[in-house]
Amino acid sequence: MTATAVVPAAPETVPAEALRERVQVLESRPGVREVLLVTSGGLPPADDEHAVIVLSVGGGGFAVTCPDGVPRVQGGLPLSQRERLATSIGGPVMALSPPSDKPVMDREWRMSERHVVDLQAAVDWVKTQWPLAKTWVLGVNNGALSAAVATASIGDLAGAILLACSDEAFDQPQKSDQMRMLAVRYRRDASLTCATVARTWGRKTLVTVHDERAQHAESTYSEAANRPRFSGKDFQVVDVVARWILTGMAPDAIR
């Protein structure tokens, strides 16, 4: 079951003709719905196009904000960052909501088989819309665990991007040896175990964010906008993510 509606785009970041914003409703399990906020470019798809599914912070829900008096739906990453990422990779970026039967997701749910079914439904829909695209999952904080679970369970993913993730998320295995994983964490949060560090060589890449201005040096979150704030380095993080998706290369640190 599907339906579409228009979500206003942010005109100050990308020309209106270049990007489209819409809402896609999926029935992931019988009687259960989930929502995708789709940011996609107006250009024809390329053979090497990429698509990114964003999994949100906290309980995984969406929030409505009115920064300039116009209501906009936010989920996982703010609209300006979704637009920047979509433009950089030349493909769609979609924020995925929790399912209608679990509006606030906890750790137990994110590790469950029903959550994997919901994630698979989103991946399958992306594949029908952009069959040539490599599909990635990008998780923010708690959503990073969902992204890691997705790559451990769903074989037709290119890999995962984990922002402000836990060790548990970073340590999840990948179902396919072809998958890649990128983790972006604050320096203080990146004190990984020896076993985890050993696995960063190869298919897993770790980037640390340095912020000498903040003594606590840890990720902060705006629950109202349902997104992380990397102390003013948000767009740098997005650019690193885009470069890694396209080339497989990333710096050791963002300063």
Which 8-state DSSP code applies to residue 160?
A: E
The answer to whether 181 touches 204, Cβ cutoff 8 Å, is yes
Question: What does the pLDDT read at residue 230?
Answer: 78
Question: What does the pLDDT read at residue 148?
Answer: 96
In sequence order, what DSSP letters do the residues of 166-191 get, joined into one string? -HHHHT---SSTT-EEEEEEETGGG-
Burial class of residue 243 in the structure, from the number of CB atoms within 10 Å of its CB (0-12 exposed, 13-18 middle, 19+ buried): middle
Low-confidence ranges of the chain (pLDDT < 70): 1-19, 41-48, 58-76, 187-202, 211-229, 231
Question: What does the pLDDT read at residue 128?
Answer: 95
The answer to whether 56 touches 76, Cβ cutoff 8 Å, is yes
Helices (H), the chain: 79-89, 107-110, 113-129, 142-153, 167-170, 194-199, 234-247
CA angle 68, 7, 219 (to 5 degrees): 65
Tell me the pTM: 0.81
pLDDT in tens, 158-204: 999 999 888 899 989 999 989 999 999 886 654 554 444 444 456 88
Question: What does the pLDDT read at residue 162?
Answer: 96
Buried b / exposed e along 169-189 (16+ C-beta atoms within 10 A): bbebebeeeebbbbbbbbbbb
Question: What does the pLDDT read at residue 43?
Answer: 57
